Amino acid sequence: MTEKSVRWGILGTGGIARAFASDLPLVSGAEPAAVGSRTGAAAATFAERHGFARSHGSWAELAADPEVDVIYVATPHAFHYDAAMTCLAGGKAVLCEKPMTLDRASSARLVEEARSRGLFLMEAMWMRCNPAVRRIADLVADGAIGDVTSVQADFGLQGPFEATHRLRDPALGGGALLDLGVYPLNLAHLILGSPSAVRSWARLTPEGVDDNTGILLGYESGAVAALTCSLVGETRNAASITGTLGRIDLPRGFFVPRSFLLHRVGAEPEEISFPFEGSGYRYEAAEVQRCLAEGLVESPLMPHATTLELMRLMDDIRAQIGVVYR
């Protein structure tokens, strides 16, 4: 890796890979180096469309490319583990799309592999790299709204989805929890940390994945988090963080906010906005490059411990609601 550029590879050619590739030119020092897919034609088409220098017809070929420094894994959930492990085995730093894998055990194996090789690994929870979300975390830590008493967040998509859709396929990690619920859970964890109690309920599809899920988290401080995720109706897709001295409201699209509203007791509401380019993926790419430049093997914005805590939490929720990926 040169001082001037970080050479990016993308593993996968789906929608999220396209969105990430479109944001990459907004990141200073990011070089679109190579694309890998199980289909050589798909990789070649993607590379030409998004300005990548090379394409590969297998994951292993991408992982072995000596002109690639870091690989963004953009496959569906069920393939994250094998894809990320292939990249690590090839000596590459990895940014792996969320959730890291389907369960904590396999995520822990990836973390162990990365650490044993001295390689950077980060779960691509773009929300935690977002400038507005980072500012919110700072405000809460500085006591701007007092002691936090509750977090409320929802994320729902307008269904119905066909039985053949990946969101209903247990073999692909389908259901609302991993695709959507991971965002409310990340927000609650960012603000309140790991809960001391978890209560969940869900309606399951005929295939056995959750399509309407409610989660209540309790904390030693007395705070609570009320979270929902759904594949059967478009919710507000917004969030609120309430404290003893105020409240922070995140608007629709809370997982990729451009602004938020700060309410303080005795003061007029204050809207805090941030300049925004692209779709929001640029910020996680920039964080990866910062970490690589500093020789870090994990990001302080999304450390390994946080990934594993959230994977364990989602394992617990799945056990309560009866979802098994197969």
Contact 215, 199 (CB under 8 A): yes
Cα–Cα distances (Å) from 204 to 210, 232, 260, 315, 324, in that order, read 4, 11, 34, 16, 11
**Quick one: which of 227, 238, 145, 135 has its CA closest to 189?**
227
pLDDT tens digits, one per residue of 9-64: 999 999 999 999 999 999 999 999 999 999 999 999 999 999 999 999 999 999 99
Report the pLDDT value the prediction gives residue 326, as an integer from 0 to 100. Answer: 84
**Quick one: which of 35, 28, 36 has its CA closest to 5?**
28
Q: What 3-state class would DSSP assign to 229?
A: strand
Where along the chain do its domains lie? 6-124, 128-276
Whether 3 shows a pLDDT value over 80: the answer reads no
pLDDT averaged over the chain? 97
Place of tokens 């009866």: 322
CA dist., res. 182 & res. 127, Å (int): 11
pLDDT tens digits, one per residue of 127-177: 999 999 999 999 999 999 999 999 999 999 999 999 999 999 999 999 999
pLDDT tens digits, one per residue of 92-133: 999 999 999 999 999 999 999 999 999 999 999 999 999 999
CA dist., res. 182 & res. 105, Å (int): 17
Question: 270: which strand partners?
Answer: 262
- Catalytic positions, written as ranges: 98
Give the strands of the sheet with 54-56, arranged side by side.
Answer: 54-56, 30-36, 6-11, 70-73, 93-97, 121-124
DSSP letter at 146 equals: -
Q: What is the CATH number of domain 128-276?
A: 3.30.360.10
The backbone torsions φ and ψ at residue 38, rounded to the nearest 5 degrees and listed phi first, read -70, -15
Cα–Cα distances (Å) from 15 to 21, 46, 259, 300, in that order, read 10, 11, 25, 27
Structure token pair of residue 305 = 């411990």
CA dist., res. 125 & res. 178, Å (int): 12
Residue 243 CB-half CA count within 13 A: 23
Question: 222: which strand partners?
Answer: none
Contact 152, 127 (CB under 8 A): no
Whether 317 shows a pLDDT value over 50: the answer reads yes
The backbone torsions φ and ψ at residue 221, rounded to the nearest 5 degrees and listed phi first, read -70, -15
User: What number is the average pLDDT over the span 191-196?
Assistant: 98
Single-letter amino acid, residue 19:
A
Q: Under CATH, which architecture does the 6-124 domain have?
A: 3-Layer(aba) Sandwich (3.40)
Whether 5 shows a pLDDT value over 80: the answer reads yes
Single-letter amino acid, residue 133:
V
Whether 1 shows a pLDDT value over 60: the answer reads no
**Quick one: which of 78, 81, 13, 312 has its CA closest to 182?**
312
Q: What 3-state class would DSSP assign to 292?
A: helix
Report the pLDDT value the prediction gives residue 279, as an integer from 0 to 100. Answer: 96
